Structure 1
Amino acid sequence: MNKYSTQQLTPSLGAEIKGIDLSNDLSNEQLNQIYDDLIKYNVIFFRNQKISPEKHIEIAKSLGTIEDPHPIYPHVEGFPEIVKLENNKDNPPDTDEWHTDLTFKNDPPFATVLCSKVIPPVGGDTLWSSLSKIYDALPDEMKKNLETLRAIHDMGSFRNNYMQEDDIESANKLNKGFEEFGNAVHPVVKIHPVSKKKFLYINPSFTSQIVGMTTTDSNNLLSYLFNFMNKPEFQIRFQWTPDTLVIWDNRCTMHYAIGDYMPHQRIMNRITVLSDKRA
């Protein structure tokens, strides 16, 4: 096995890690190196990793507390901690837009550990974007203003899951959905707890309103920022291969899983890490 090495993939974020077999028992030194590279590059990629579900869980737990079994999504048989994301023509993806996971919660998760199992012959790439690089590129006067603002986050496009007909029943289901998902208010600019870098903490999927602004003014500001955030120089686009493990820092990135591979199948095994035990 070659020596552990990193290959940076873009100037903004992303690195491929080579020279490590994640199916082996990993030393504390190796786990700390993986963590350090996650903080440095925001998203890290390990190709050709045939890991067991037990090893998948072990790697995730080395980062922090993992999420309890998901109440809705199916899981890997015998391993309720691992969500099985299986999409095809009969079950198309419902998150194919830019988002940071679960920002409608008061304490969104730290990281995701995703392992590819079945990859379509073409399509199905995932993009990530660096929220700190986006913040850095904003005009200085705008940074000062944004640092004083807070934003409301809600369930966004998930509301479509509750709207079947234009009737009272659907409205009641939608209200129940808002109760289940909840809402959260976050600063528009946050500081990373480890790197101490500032980053822009909004996303098109779940950020709905700037606190204290009229809806029109809020929409105008968010529209400008979302367009600014969509520049390719802040992004990386990753083409999956089977048995690739990816870890990303959900605190300071957005991602977009492209749903362009129908009618083919795509299966991913996902563990969500709630807290960063090193922070």
Structure 2
Amino acid sequence: MLLVELALIRLIGLLGLLVLGTSIWVLVDAKTIGVRKGLVKGFFDIGPWGWFFSCLLIWIIAFPIYIAKRGEFKRLNAERFMQNLYQYQSQYRTISEKTYSDPDTKKRTTIDWIESIGLVVLLFVIFRFIVISFVDNYQNKTPPPPVAQYNNSPTLNPNEDLKLSKGWGWTADNYGNEYIEGTVVNRSDNTYSSVFIRFNLYDEENNLVGNANDIVDNLRPHETWKFKALVPYDNAYSAEFAGIDGY
């Protein structure tokens, strides 16, 4: 699998964990502060499970809305609780008016907004850390050093008609795909229908993980072929020239 594909899968996995984790937090928090259907009117009149699935499916929309309305949910739930309590008291109206004019109510609302803003900032920092880690991991991934930058090892062709010229090297493109590049020269007077070059790939512990290959057709006499063999393994650390076959 190519490096860019692995990096994208890793990023999607991290973002998926972020969405799932925050959605579960919304479910638990909504139950804790007393969010329930009928607490508010309109489109946002849903219960804890409704908020959970909304965040899970449309997180980019539902989660910021929940954070913004969290303070309102807490305030409305507290007011409804006090109203139910005052129904059993003879001086309901006097106490109720005092409650609504109590400066502590504004203080609680301010605290709720501070908590909501703090949660948004925290999630932004986490999201930024995930994205920066992904970008740094992708951009700082340097191609591993080849076993030999210049290698004129003999080919497997007994007559040595086909041979590496000026060695070979390990390169990478802008998308993170890695290649082994070099030049093969046909030193004979014959045309080869197919020429096949291969390299053995090893991990950091020098275990064989696979091969990098390239092929060309109709290599004419004394013609030069600039090969580019794709390295298809992310854990490939070094390479060794394995041979050239010509038919």
TM-score range (shorter-chain normalised) is under 0.3
What TM-score do you get using the length of structure 2 for normalisation?
0.24
**TM-score, length of structure 1 as denominator length:** 0.22
The structure showing larger relative contact order (alpha-carbon pairs under 8 Å, at least 6 residues apart) is 1
Which structure is higher in helix share? 2
Q: Which has the larger radius of gyration?
A: 2
